[in-house]
Amino acid sequence: MTCVATNIGIHTADAEAVAVRFTGAELHLTFTDWQEQPRAFTFDDVLAFRWQEFAEQGIRDDMTYEVTESPWLAEQATLQAVPADEYAHYKLCFNACGVLDILCRREVTTTTADE
């Protein structure tokens, strides 16, 4: 398992008011960014997600990563009978408030903060 910095269009540094809403298989993420602008994103076909305190070694607490060779993704893909290579394990490190791990399709949709 390796965390590789990635750009999926989400900048997590100094974000505040992070909120997640899980509906069907979609995870909706909203937060206020470092410029005090509302941001909203949707992750499709989510297999699993978790929120926790930052406890990682060797990575920054204010970046977004893709976890390669993720045992969690491999396990969930097997349990849910889907091809693991069509999914990604993203780790969004919000240095001001925690870490969001998401197993989802590789595409991330930007939406308006009102949605």
E-strand stretches of 6-115:
16-23, 26-32, 38-43, 48-52, 64-68, 87-94, 98-105, 108-111
Average pLDDT over residues 56-76: 94
Residue type for position 81: A
In the three-class reduction of DSSP (H, G, I as helix; E, B as strand; rest coil), residue 56 is classed as: coil
Model confidence over 29-51: pLDDT tens digits? 999 999 999 999 999 999 999 99
Let me know how long the chain is.
115
Report the DSSP beta bridge partners of residue 78. none
Q: What is the pTM of this model?
A: 0.90
Cβ neighbours for 39, distance < 8 A, ≥ 6 positions apart? 10, 15, 30, 31, 32, 33, 110, 113
Pair of tokens at residue 17: 């008011």
Tell whether the model's pLDDT for residue 110 goes beyond 80. no
